């Protein structure tokens, strides 16, 4: 597989209140055309506990359950060059960010941006925030621990606890 990666369309409906942002799909996700398809990634098991959108149900139903919970899913990068699947391997000069201005115009109820790890937050702040003018101040920005298996510093239970608090609406955790 080439090192060039092109991301996916957002998963969102007009009622979305929370947007979960990753960096860019990894190789397994790209091959399967599914967000967080790597079976060792904790994302879908966590979504299973929180929204009934676990890996035991078909992917389209998982996406429907997230939308029903008013949770949207996307990545910061529309495209980038990355050998392998690690965020640290993304060539920063190659990153093409997604069109967040258009996305936020189409989804005006989004109030909370949750970053799936530090790399997603850093890329968003560096590449996207400056293009949005005053718009970022309308959002609560929350960095959550990466659900990637590469983030072995936290066990599944600690990731789940952080995501449970991080995805609560209202005041920032």
On the question of pLDDT at 170 being above 60, the answer is no
Identify the weakest region by mean pLDDT among 29-33, 74-78, 128-132: 128-132
> In angstroms, how far is CA 118 from the centroid of its own chain?
11
Residue 172 lies in a domain: no
Q: Which residues are catalytic?
A: 41
Residue 104 lies in a domain: yes
Strand order in the sheet with 4-6: 4-6, 77-81, 96-97
With beta carbons less than 8 A apart as the criterion, state whether 86 and 25 touch.
Answer: no
List, for residues 93-117, the tens digit of each pLDDT value: 889 999 999 999 999 999 999 999 9
Residue-level pLDDT at 111? 92
The number of distinct structural domains making up the chain is: 1
- Give the confidence band of 171 by pLDDT, cuts at 50, 70, 90: very low
Residue 65 lies in a domain: yes
More confident residue, 130 or 60: 60
Handedness of CA 60, 66, 69, 75 (dihedral sign): negative
Per DSSP bridges, beta strands 4-6 and 112-116 are unpaired
List, for residues 80-89, the tens digit of each pLDDT value: 888 777 777 6
On the question of pLDDT at 153 being above 80, the answer is no
> In angstroms, how far is CA 136 from the centroid of its own chain?
17
List, for residues 112-140, the tens digit of each pLDDT value: 999 999 999 999 999 998 888 766 678 99
Residue 78 lies in a domain: yes
Full domain range(s) for residue 152? 4-166
CATH number assigned to the domain comprising residue 26: 3.40.470.10
Both tokens of 85, joined, read 């699947």
């Amino acid at each position: 597989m080439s090192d060039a990666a092109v991301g996916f369309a957002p998963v969102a409906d007009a009622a979305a209140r929370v947007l979960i942002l990753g960096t860019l799909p990894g190789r397994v996700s790209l091959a399967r055309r599914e967000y967080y398809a790597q079976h060792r990634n904790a994302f879908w098991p966590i979504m299973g506990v929180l929204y009934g959108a676990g890996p035991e149900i078909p992917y389209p139903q998982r996406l429907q359950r997230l939308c029903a919970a008013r949770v949207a899913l996307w990545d910061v990068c529309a495209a980038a060059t990355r050998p392998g699947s690690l965020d640290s391997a993304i060539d920063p000069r190659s990153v093409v960010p997604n069109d967040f201005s258009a996305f936020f115009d189409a989804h005006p109820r989004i109030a909370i941006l949750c970053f799936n790890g530090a790399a997603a937050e850093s890329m968003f702040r560096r590449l996207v925030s400056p293009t949005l003018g005053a718009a970022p101040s309308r959002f609560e920005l929350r960095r959550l621990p990466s659900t990637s298996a590469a983030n072995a510093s936290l066990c599944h239970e600690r990731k789940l606890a952080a995501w449970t608090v991080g995805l609560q609406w209202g005041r920032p955790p």
